[in-house]
Amino acid sequence: MEATLQRQARILLIDDDEVDFVITRKLLGKLPDHRYELDWVDTYEGGLQAVASDRYDVCLVDYQLGPQTGLDLLREVRARGSELPMIILTARSDERIDAEAFALGAAGFIDKARLDSEELDRSLRYALRREGLVNDLVKHNAELLHMHRLTELFLERNSLQEACGEVVHEIARFTGFPMIAIERHDEARGTLEPLGVMGTQARGEAVEPEVPIHRSSTARVLDTHAPWVEMECTTADRDGLKHLDWVWVQSAMSLPIIVGGQVTGVLTLAHSEAHVLDSSQVNLAAGLASHVGRLIGRLHDPAYARTGPPQQGDSEAARTVEQLVRLHAWALSEAGRRGVALRWETLASVPPATDADELFEVVGSLLESALASSRAGTVGVRLFPVDDPSRVEVSLELPSDERERKEAVSAGTHLVEMLEGTQTIADDTGVERMQLKVRLRG
């Protein structure tokens, strides 16, 4: 929903009086940033059709709509399954109407006699945030049910291959990606073994039982411990996926599967069409890879069965690695969306005392600041320098325009509370960059 608040929110006004439309348009026009886009329909039936179009973020509906009322419309909209936030407008204050409106699920109730720009803006922002919270809750519950289903599949199947063979179908159903693969890394042999693969397999060739890692596009996550996200795959990328017998891949992402703090495999999701991979999709995929890793470790990994559950320190280290993967996945997606190149360097292994939540919060804040400030160029991340593994650094390329440069510096320094210091440097190509440094608590 933050994305809705950043772009123009689409507002639908259902009111049979054109004067009310003119007044509402003027009130919204007084607000800064032109954050709302207003459409108007003047009939009950027209309102139902407009709501059904799913084009709007919030609906303002007048209580009196000819022989029918806004409450009648709200009741019918809910009966048709729409959860569009609806705010009732009325010319008189009536506690009974107010109570009935909220009982039907109205997002707000405004007395026209007291309506001004500030009140209208506050009501719309509340409705948008309320919708966001509800959507997040529904999404979270769906993800929990999906994770539970994956757990059931691992528990019910006798072998790892059998479980993964069904898990890839469940992941495809939930994510909408038609091509899914789970591969296991055999470090001694230097190969990847497909445990579960599904997709468009029209080449008529079998999935290879194992492939040398140098031939696989997905293997790059093994060395970097970082996600691979590609929205427009190259010929080389597609050649590196041929061992999975996928005919045509346009977009793909591979996430490391972590067992006991070690990257032991790869989860890949791919699509035959160019696909804009937003941060929520990449984050979901990272969460799925993390969950699959935990299930493999607990139920099918011989080392885990022999040694028992990991100790607290091992568990925290594994969680820190998982948080880093999630963070990198989010950063890749956000950088791609903003047209910014991302350079990610983990210079040393994760320090034992690193707190996973603090790392996610601190580096996430730095990245959000840098990505918001960088209009083009490259954002660089340096994690755990060898000379001081308690420090993290994020750098952003400074615009040449003086005004934009000042805005970037201001955003970069004020959005981060734990900032240890800033420094302006020139990189190898002579481009000026600003470094933001933060020291993690030990």
Residue 152 lies in a domain: no
Q: How confident is the model at residue 308 (pLDDT cuts 50, 70, 90)?
A: very low
> Does residue 107 carry a pLDDT above 80?
yes
Based on the domain organization, do 185 and 322 belong to the same domain?
yes
432: which strand partners?
426
Instruction: Name the token pair of 336.
Output: 């791609």
Based on the domain organization, do 92 and 16 belong to the same domain?
yes
> What's the CA gap between 401 and 415, in Å, rounded?
21
Residue 144 lies in a domain: no
Cβ-proximal residues to 399 (8 Å cutoff; 6+ apart), any chain: 375, 376, 377, 405, 408
> Of all residues in the chain, what percent carry a pLDDT higher than 70?
65
Q: How confident is the model at residue 354 (pLDDT cuts 50, 70, 90)?
A: low
Based on the domain organization, do 121 and 261 belong to the same domain?
no
Based on the domain organization, do 166 and 313 belong to the same domain?
yes
Structural domain boundaries enclosing 16: 2-134
Reported as a single tens digit per residue, the pLDDT across 43-64 is 999 999 999 988 898 999 999 8
> Does residue 119 carry a pLDDT above 60?
yes
What is the per-residue pLDDT for 40?
Answer: 94
Amino acid at 102: F
Residue 85 lies in a domain: yes
The DSSP secondary-structure symbol of 394 reads E
Residue 149 lies in a domain: no
In three-state secondary structure terms, 76 is helix
Residue 139 lies in a domain: no
> What's the CA gap between 264 and 352, in Å, rounded?
20
- Residue 258 CA to chain centroid, in angstroms? 20
What does pTM read for this prediction? 0.54
User: How do beta strands 262-271 and 341-346 pair?
Assistant: unpaired
Residue 95: CATH number of its domain: 3.40.50.2300
Based on the domain organization, do 127 and 271 belong to the same domain?
no
Higher pLDDT, 423 or 414: 423
Residue 442: CATH number of its domain: 3.30.565
> What's the CA gap between 277 and 254, in Å, rounded?
12
Phi, psi of 81 (to 5 degrees): 95, 0
Based on the domain organization, do 329 and 254 belong to the same domain?
yes
Residue 151 lies in a domain: no
Query: In the listed set 269, 303, 333, which residue is the last one of a domain according to the structure?
Result: 333
Based on the domain organization, do 366 and 254 belong to the same domain?
no
Higher pLDDT, 97 or 24: 24
Based on the domain organization, do 171 and 298 belong to the same domain?
yes
**Measured on CA atoms in the order 357, 155, 169, 210, is the torsion positive or negative?**
positive
- Residue 78 CA to chain centroid, in angstroms? 28
Distances (CA, A) of 405 to 276, 366, 374, 400, 432: 29, 17, 9, 7, 10
Query: In the listed set 103, 134, 165, which residue is the last one of a domain according to the structure?
Result: 134
- Residue 278 CA to chain centroid, in angstroms? 6
Residue 284 lies in a domain: yes
Reported as a single tens digit per residue, the pLDDT across 185-222 is 888 888 888 899 988 554 445 566 767 776 788 777 88
- Looking up tokens 């729409």 gives 82
b/e burial code for range 139-178 (CB count within 10 A of at least 16 → b):
eeeeeeebbeebbebbeebeebeebbbbbbebbbebbebe
Based on the domain organization, do 380 and 361 belong to the same domain?
yes
> What's the CA gap between 441 and 358, in Å, rounded?
8
Based on the domain organization, do 314 and 168 belong to the same domain?
yes
Long-range contacts: 138-147, Cβ < 8 Å, 24+? 142/174, 143/284, 143/287, 146/170, 146/174, 147/287, 147/288, 147/291
Residue 362 lies in a domain: yes
Query: In the listed set 84, 119, 134, which residue is the last one of a domain according to the structure?
Result: 134
Strands of the sheet with 211-212, listed across from one edge: 211-212, 191-198, 179-186, 262-271, 251-259, 228-230
Based on the domain organization, do 195 and 315 belong to the same domain?
yes
- Mean pLDDT to the nearest integer, 386-396: 64
Q: How confident is the model at residue 435 (pLDDT cuts 50, 70, 90)?
A: low
> What's the CA gap between 80 and 73, in Å, rounded?
11
Residue 211: CATH number of its domain: 3.30.450.40
Counted domains in the chain:
3
What is the per-residue pLDDT for 411?
Answer: 52
Q: Determine how many CB atoms are found less than 10 A away from the CB of residue 326.
A: 23
Based on the domain organization, do 130 and 229 belong to the same domain?
no
